[in-house]
């Protein structure tokens, strides 16, 4: 999983510092939005031929890690 996360980059001058795929101008959020809209991995890869299947996996892992939180006891 850590190798997948190496595909995610954040640069202050690129896409407002948002997490991107391998330094390109496609954000993790763009990939997630496409998947949420119902696009399959194959459709995303066909529309964006410079992306790789592991880029999509990396986006999912990154989002999952960002969602981790400790729940306070009630």
Q: Residue 68: its pLDDT value, please? A: 75
Q: How far is CA 17 from CA 14, 22, 64, in A?
A: 6, 13, 19
Digitized pLDDT (tens) for each residue of the chain, 74 residues in all:
789 999 999 999 899 999 999 999 999 999 999 999 999 999 999 999 999 999 999 999 999 988 876 666 55
The parent domain of residue 62 ranges over 2-66
Q: Residue 74: its pLDDT value, please? A: 55
Is residue 71 in some structural domain? Answer: no
Reduced to 3 states, what is the DSSP secondary structure of residue 39? Answer: coil
Number of domains in the chain: 1
Is residue 59 in some structural domain? Answer: yes
Provide CB contacts within 8 A for 55, sequence distance 6+.
7, 21, 22, 31
Q: Residue 72: its pLDDT value, please? A: 60
Q: CATH no. for residue 48?
A: 1.10.10.10
């Amino acid at each position: 999983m850590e190798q997948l996360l190496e595909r995610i980059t954040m640069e202050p001058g690129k896409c407002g510092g948002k997490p991107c795929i391998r330094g390109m101008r496609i954000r993790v959020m763009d990939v997630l939005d496409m998947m949420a809209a119902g696009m399959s991995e194959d459709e995303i890869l066909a529309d964006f031929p410079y992306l790789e299947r592991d880029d999509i996996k990396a986006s999912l892992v990154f989002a999952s890690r960002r969602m981790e939180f400790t729940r306070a006891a009630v």
